[in-house]
Amino acid sequence: MKYKIFVDGQFGTTGLKINEMLKNRSELELLTISEEEKKDIEIKKKFLNEADLVFLCLPDAASKESVALITNENVKIIDASTAHRTNPEWTYGIAEITPTQREKIKNSKRVCVPGCHASGFIMAMKPLIENGIVLKSQKIVCHSITGYSGGGRALIDAYEDPANKGKFDSQRPYALGLSHKHLPEMKHVLGLESAPFFTPSVGNFSQGMLVMSYLIKDELSKKVSKDEVISIYKEYYKGEQFVKIIENDIEYLDDGFLNAMNCNNTNTIEISVYDSEDYMLVISRLDNLGKGASGAAVQNMNIMLGLDEKLGLNI
């Protein structure tokens, strides 16, 4: 059996990547629409309702409009926008975060792809919250640096324009109003009383990211060592093929530095832990276009269609 797949928004960064990842899959038939046809609502509606599964790679408002056009109740939807990530009628698409989440995704017809920053933060904090180390009342500080591809075509073009050579060489913090669009899902999925104090930045590289969560040991509900935290992560994510827990950070680091790009072109997330007498730092490394976007979308598709979860994905 071939599954019909339609990518609504196939010309954007996430959509292009999903198409690239699926194009050689023999069990899938990709429905394609031209740039001109996508502006015709009736043609678009036809594609949306013919598919077995639809990826929505659109801005929030356009995503909601496309959902409203789907009248075939058998169509499964994976939305890569932020439109439905805190909607209880949609399933949050990180299969690894609870023992039952994978089954929820499998049985759902509406799944939202998490944000890239949110994925790194949630996967780092969830085991600590579930083990009573980090309290839901705690105020957590998080900083993230991501490749410029996360900003979509406009930012990619700006960084890669020869006329801008030297203009964007530094790390550039953004969302300095402290209200980044991933904050609602960070708070909602973890059940936090307050959203984290989160500051993202863009680096002068295309793909890859580091999400850094900062903890003050005196504020933790339990006294735990770095080794104990690593053991908690290993147990929590035991058997998860896309999650790697780093046990030896000396070998992991490159002369003391951590390269944001070493998970690129994979669906892997790596979690490493660092500490001092007073503080603890948890870093999630992932590809912002992989586990942070298109890779996560394809992983969810595989689960929803009952296929091998790692099909088309690199570890």
CB 130 within 8 A of CB 236: yes
To the nearest 10 degrees (0 to 180), the angle between helices 41-50 and 60-69 is 70
In our burial notation (b when 16+ CB lie closer than 10 A, e otherwise), range 86-108 reads eeeebbbbbbbbeeebbeebbeb
Strands 141-146 and 110-112: unpaired
Rg (alpha carbons) of the chain, rounded to whole number:
20
Residue of 57, 112, 116, 263 marked catalytic: 116
Q: Which token pair is 159?
A: 């960084």
Three-state SS for 225?
coil
The dihedral of CA 8, 14, 16, 20: what is its sign?
Answer: negative
The verdict on whether 263 is a catalytic residue reads no
| Nearest-angstrom CA–CA distance, 137 and 274 | 23
Beta carbons within 10 angstroms of residue 271's beta carbon: 25
Angle (nearest 5°) at CA 205 between 267 and 61: 65
Catalytic positions: 116
